[in-house]
Structure 1
Amino acid sequence: MPPHDTLDRRRALALLGLLAAGAPAWAQGFPDKPLRILVGASPGGGTDILARVLADKMAATLKQPVVVENRPGASNTIAAELAARAAPDGSTLLLATNTAQAVAPHMLKLKYDPLKDLQPIGLVAVMPNVLVVSSTGPYKSAKDVQTALAAKPGALKYASSGIGSTQHIGGEAFGMATGTRAIHVPYKGSSQAHIDIIAGEVDMMFDSTSSAMSQIRAGKLRPLAVSAPARSAEMPDVPTLAELGIQGADVSTWYGLYTTGGTPRAAVERLTADLGQALQLPDVQARIKALGGELGTLTGERFAEMNRSEYEHYGRLVRGANIKAE
């Protein structure tokens, strides 16, 4: 199910407006203790940035401290498992990406069911992935990269934030679409990968705009192509892969908020209301836009439906690319 469906956006915005009007009386007792947002990536990456934005805004409306805990590793599933196994009282949240929710389950033997043990709250944002290289390196265009890959198969290396991450999927999709091959180098987060790309230790990365934009703006990473149907408003001069004649390689990273499965409905609806309030704030919307993304508008069952659809979609991609955990 496409996360950008216009009708879904209108319905979801209407729902967020109703929820943001105020929490119902039966939810007034929640929360009665501090909350935490688990993040499956290292500090400084896109997931961490968004989690800290949400923690700040939701703490104000929930009237409780909200702290961010980084638990990177295992394709973001360490954090997801902690959230799945937490007390089902709504105090443990997870800001997850499609890496943990839709990709990793097809590669790893998990001790939890991402579709049953994690309760969807709402879609936060959708970010296109962007092909980036070092600004001091030899590659000035995606064509340069494609030519180098064709000339020396397996000689170039591309980074990702972990095996099965959307960055990994993006690299494999690019290889399949262009008939080329590069060596995958997984990291525990985008920020660590950026260091090696800038230093020239790794050639490129198909990173999410949310993780890459700060280094792009700093002039340390050079964006070559966006893996999305349309150009990014924050990088209007950067072409899409499709514009360059590379079809079927579009991969985006979406971010969703979850809590532990089995959490009482009153707590879930209160969390949905407070997420809705946070996403309506102009500074939050501006931050998501600055990261090169679009505001998420799906909540509750609509978001759960999207999650299930993405789970099936990425399952087909993982099998098609024969991606396996190492």
Structure 2
Amino acid sequence: MTFATAVRFAALRPFALAGTVFAGALLGTPAASPAQPVPQDWPAKPVRIMVGANPGGGSDTIARLLGDHFSAATGQPFVIENRPGASNTIASDVTAKADKDGHTLLVAASTSVSIAPHLIKLGYDTLRDIQPVGLIALVPNVLVVNKDLGIDTVAQLVEHMKKNPGKVKYGSSGFGSTHVILAEQFNLAAGVKSVHVPYKGAAQTQIDIIAGQIQMTFDTVPAALGQIKAGNLKPLAVTSPTRIPELPDVPTIAESGYPAVETQVMYALYTTAGTPRPVVEKINALLNAALGEKTVNRRLVEFGALLQPMTVDAFDGFNRSEYERFGLLIRRAGIKAGS
């Protein structure tokens, strides 16, 4: 899949990006204070990239890929700092309270910026205290199960769950993660019940599925792909609108009969609110250049990513629309803190 093809696929997403680009232009982004100095030499020192997940997860993988490109492009180190926990919001909290100079960035997934704020009390306001910089990618999740269950399709999984009500356990990286949103949507759509078992990260979830302690999860493709390729996890369906190049034989969740479960994780770049607008624009340009670079582009597309570079204003609008969309999903599914 080429970069252009990936961008065209993004238009298939149920929540059309074209409208959010227009909305972003209307909403705008926070302006820098007139008294604030504008550093013209960003980055003037090493930049830290905060990640709310353990090493090996989807956001960590993407952050390291971008960090390497940013370092090569600017001559400054971009250092990944993993701060897992609290539904991936610890890294967001650090970013919200950092110096307003663009030297603290955040690679975040939907979990911390669009989902957790609707479920837990935070020490910061997601929309007010964290500055949207740009969209990295929209990445599908993949429904995986223990390979020894003898289950090869979603239909077989539903049949198994109906025969064993309440006995199938699904793992997540926290109750505010997309794993939970998707699993609970699946429960509703299929008329089944699975039991939630939260973990601190995707890696431990996978270990326990492989060991048979739990049976399934809706993991992100970047996080699950290695264990799928190794034959340790059995993929049943991806949650994207179309099949993805790296898992061409795995049907979409809609093909499997459950279009209501279709969704994708937003991976995006943020910095501290109040960072001077020229610096935010410079970071946005650096990100969009990285997304067009052959190696970065290829790696992201291999993960099933749908790429849609955006301006700062356009992404601000899209970020807000995702926040509202997941809030609606959470209310409809009746998901509560700790569920």
TM-score, L = length of structure 2:
0.88
**Aligned residue in 2 for 1:309:** 321
Does the alignment pair 1:212 with 2:212? no
Give 1:151 shift.
1.5
3-state SS in 1 of match to 2:246: coil
3-state SS in 1 of match to 2:144: strand
Residues 213, 292 of structure 1: 8 Å contact kept: no
Residues 34, 64 of structure 1: 8 Å contact kept: yes
Which blocks of at least 5 consecutive residues in structure 2 are unaligned?
Answer: 1-12, 25-37
In structure 1, C-alpha distance between the alignment counterparts of 2:70 and 2:55, rounded to whole Å = 19
Does the alignment pair 1:117 with 2:129? yes
Residues 39, 101 of structure 2: 8 Å contact kept: no
2:335 partner amino acid: I
Distance 1:297 1:8, change over 3 A: farther
Give 1:322 shift.
1.8
Residues 232, 292 of structure 1: 8 Å contact kept: yes
**Aligned residue in 1 for 2:10:** none
Give 1:27 shift.
6.2
3-state SS in 1 of match to 2:279: helix
Does the alignment pair 1:275 with 2:316? no
3-state SS in 1 of match to 2:304: coil
1:224 partner amino acid: L
Number of aligned residue pairs: give it.
Answer: 311
1:234 partner amino acid: E
* Matched ranges for 1:72-83 at <5 A: 72-83=84-95
Identity %: 48
Residues 228, 251 of structure 1: 8 Å contact kept: yes
Residues 210, 293 of structure 1: 8 Å contact kept: no
* Matched ranges for 1:68-107 at <5 A: 68-107=80-119
2:262 partner amino acid: D
Does the alignment pair 1:221 with 2:237? no
In structure 2, C-alpha distance between the alignment counterparts of 1:237 and 1:38, rounded to whole Å = 35
3-state SS in 2 of match to 1:75: coil
**Aligned residue in 1 for 2:42:** 30
Give 1:5 shift.
3.3
Residues 169, 251 of structure 1: 8 Å contact kept: no
Distance 1:8 1:164, change over 3 A: closer
Question: Which residue, 136, 141, 152 being the options, matches 2:148?
Answer: 136
Runs of 4+ residues over 3 Å off in structure 1: 1-9
**Aligned residue in 2 for 1:181:** 193
2:204 partner amino acid: Q
1:218 partner amino acid: A
**Aligned residue in 1 for 2:259:** 247
Question: Which residue, 208, 211, 215 being the options, matches 1:203?
Answer: 215
